[in-house]
Chains A and B, each alone.
Chain A
Amino acid sequence: MKYLDEYRNGEIAAKIVDEIRRTLTRPWLLMEVCGGQTHSIVKHGIDYLLPAGLELVHGPGCPVCVTPLEMIDKAHAIARLPNVIFCSFGDMLRVPGSDGDLFTIKSLGGDVRIVYSPLDCLKIARANPRKQVVFFAIGFETTAPANAMLAWRARVESLNNVSLLVSHVLVPPALQAILDAPDNRIQGFLGPGHVCAVMGYTEYDPISARYHVPIVITGFEPLDILQGTLMTIRQLESGRATVENQYSRILNREGNPAAQKLIATVFEVGDRKWRGIGAIPGSGYHLRPEFAGHDAEKLFEVGRIAPLEPEICISGQILRGLKKPHDCPAFASLCTPQHPLGATMVSAEGACAAYYTYGRHLTPHRSDPLLHVIDETEDIHASR
């Protein structure tokens, strides 16, 4: 398919992998920031094309994973209300809260709907003037413009039955939190392509300079990721640390000024809690006071919610790149996509779910019977 197959070409992939191999003189540890990148890496088997010594760890950029449990519980409490139509992106429906998921609430009679665009909520609100239409506005800078547009349009059209439950987070503060951690191991980042398509990448210059860490803004197709990896390795091998743009076919240094303006009109930066990481100052968006009439957190006071996370789950360490899914004793045994113990197993973009779905055959795990298999399958290893 045009504009996709070009970026999934096996021969070019093999050439870039060769170039990475030639460039590499010692081990490096990189983090791909985005969940979409993690998904692509395991879906296409990219990590197993890379030479030994080059490790990719998965970052905090899965919006479903980092949404705190209390926010999910809050969403569920609102979705259970009789007069509410609760709208969400599809993959939030399976995220378990303390007592069920949105599918369960739907089966109990809750009006839960999947929307493809936040603006679909406007149509639903116009058609259901007596109901409260609540949109679960989660995500990074990528989804912020469309979510902001919903709030803005609702206000302009005086659709008072539209509100947003906002749990928006920002990438740069999270990168800083990772780099500030005393046990940090990350030496370079594949930066978030779509986030930067909105925001540009000037925010990353001071981070790269201060921590002397290469950040290569990278796309999501296999060749994007391999090229971004090569660019990062080249910087590391030559001792440079700067921000580079691999994804130049999509974005430039300034990003999308119209989208930025809309975001600034609707949202203000404030503290946010990240699931698995904790509170990070200035790491998220909140609705501005003039949009309080569309702020579901203010409209629905759902009581004190202080859930406990399962102790065994290491999703926090996975989100910070300290551990990999296979390091978790519950991975693929107690914790599966069907029975997730933590956020990283829930979303398709979560590192654990991606590993489970595409790569659980690759590293032996004591409780997984489906092991040791791939080395016996010669023909499928021909290209490695």
Chain B
Amino acid sequence: MPAADEASKILRADDPDIVPSSTPFGSCPIPIFDHQRIVLGHGSGGKLTADLIEKIFLPAFRNPTLDKMDDQAVLQFGDMRLAFTTDSFVVTPIFFPGGDIGRLAIHGTVNDLAMSGARPLYLSAAFILEEGLPVDDLRRVVESMRSAAAEAGVQLVTGDTKVVNRGKGDQIFITTTGIGVIENGINISADQARPGDKIILSGTIGDHGMTIMSQREGLQFEGAIQSDCASLNQLVVAMLSTSSERRDFIHTMRDPTRGGVATTLNELARHANVGIVIDQRAIPVRESVQGACEVLGLDPLYVANEGKLIAFVVPEMAEVVLHRMSQHPLGADAAIIGEVVNTHPGMVLMKTQIGGTRVLDVMFGEQLPRIC
């Protein structure tokens, strides 16, 4: 069989694309290697993504604003502070229960702005369309962007369109960029986290990721799962209005998208150099999502969300902020899930359901279904 010769040739060949990194054990063919090509895991939001940012992007563009590694840049112009962010959206299928790529593209950028406490104002949108995409599909996506933008109170003020050959894209890719203004006195950033802060999660986790996965794999789960995709800026306004005197009671906010709550908490712990302890029993998970995760051997803590936020709030204000959140439809299931501590800096520990304790690590690459 010709296949045989070809394979053995491939095996013996000195393939320049897969080179073992410098190994600590001489010439031994140790299976340690850095990827010499982009693999899917580089886009997972986990360790491989962080690796790419640290090794490729940061060295090239390094500056004080970027070094803060928040999901948005905060720029000072005289007295005014602007939040500025950009995000690309690729998702299959482009329409899914609870939303579509258009809604995601608006919500994602609005949320990245809102996580700095900013009031999102203007967005741009760039479309990369694949030859053959039905115009009706594009129309549907654009219509849902319009309604999502109207709900969030932002305007789409500039844009761009490119078309690529069939097979060179996946129907539609959208990049949105946004700006917003931050009121004086608000200073919300990863590096503001302090020991003692209470950690509030705005609702159930894993809804978006499991919706996409069950659609993609054609898995039917009992009790329909819907994406949670939503713009969080109104919820943030509600949270900030908890006190009329204080402006500084929310230290840190993030929306736990790719990589899920676990990865976001790890990023925050590392950037602020603080420890985090959370209680598994306090984390709201829908039964349908938990069930789907159990079937696939996945952990909802690592599954993406598109309409949830995590806030680090000064302890004396945590209960009132939580109360205010629970009155908002996007915060109805909000809960205090843990706190920031001054031990084990950079690490997240979780008290488990049965009373044990374990490390909650970041995701390495793609979450992989387990064999059995």
Contacts and interface: CB of A to CB of B under 8 A. Distances in A.
A383 B353 CA distance: 11
Contacts of B39: 103-104, 106-107
Contacts of A338: 47-48, 364-365
Interface stretch (B27-35, B80-88, B157-165, B177-185): B27-35
A303 B3 CA distance: 11
A379 interface: yes
Contacts of A4: 290, 294
Interface residues of B, number: 64
B7 A302 contact: yes
Interface stretch (B9-17, B136-144, B232-240, B244-252): B9-17
Contacts of A104: 17-18, 35, 37, 39
Contacts of B47: 338
B343 A81 contact: no
Interface stretch (A6-14, A25-33, A253-261): A6-14
Contacts of B366: 93, 103
B349 A361 contact: yes
A143 B346 CA distance: 39
B358 interface: yes
B341 interface: yes
Nearest to A349: B370
Given A45-B357, A48-B357, A303 B7 contact: yes
B129 interface: no
A90 interface: yes
Given A13-B355, A46-B354, A77 B368 contact: no
Contact of A77 (B8, B17, B20, B219): B8
A78 B10 CA distance: 10
Contacts of B344: 361, 370, 373-374, 376-377
B41 interface: yes
Contacts of B25: 310-312
Contacts of B291: 1
B369 A107 contact: no
B36 to A, nearest CB: 8
A302 B11 contact: yes
Instruction: Classify the interface of chain B: helix, strand, loop or mixed.
Output: loop
Interface stretch (A233-241, A287-295, A318-326, A352-360): A352-360
A196 interface: no
A296 B3 CA distance: 11
A83 interface: yes
A50 B215 CA distance: 41
B65 to A, nearest CB: 29
Contacts of A103: 35, 39-41, 365-366
Contacts of B369: 89-91, 114, 116
B56 interface: no
A166 interface: no
B371 A380 contact: no
A99 B356 CA distance: 39
A80 B10 contact: yes
A349 B38 CA distance: 26
Given A1-B290, A139-B372, A311 B354 contact: no
Nearest to B369: A90
B371 A107 contact: no
Given A94-B368, A139-B372, A380 B354 contact: no
A91 B37 CA distance: 20
B11 A303 contact: yes
B260 interface: no
Interface string A79-112: 0111110000111111011111001101110000
A223 to B, nearest CB: 8
A73 B29 CA distance: 12
Nearest to A373: B344
Interface in B287-312: 287, 290-291, 294, 296-297
A377 B343 contact: yes
Contacts of B38: 107
A376 B343 contact: yes
A276 interface: no
B359 A300 contact: no
Interface string A167-181: 000000000000000
B371 A89 contact: yes
Contacts of A302: 4, 7-8, 11
B217 interface: yes
Interface string A337-368: 11111000001110000001111110000000
29 contacts: A1-B294, A8-B353, A42-B358, A45-B352, A48-B357, A49-B355, A78-B7, A84-B3, A89-B369, A90-B369, A91-B368, A91-B369, A96-B32, A99-B29, A107-B37, A114-B369, A116-B296, A132-B3, A300-B7, A303-B12, A310-B28, A311-B25, A339-B33, A340-B32, A349-B371, A356-B361, A373-B349, A377-B341, A379-B277
Interface of B: 1, 3-4, 6-8, 10-12, 15, 17-18, 20, 24-25, 28-33, 35, 37-41, 47-48, 217, 219, 275, 277, 281, 287, 290-291, 294, 296-297, 341, 343-344, 346-347, 349, 351-359, 361, 364-366, 368-372
In order of increasing CB-CB distance, the 5 nearest A-B pairs are: A45-B356, A303-B8, A96-B31, A373-B344, A90-B368
Given A42-B358, A377-B275, 4 more contacts: A2-B287, A114-B369, A116-B217, A358-B361
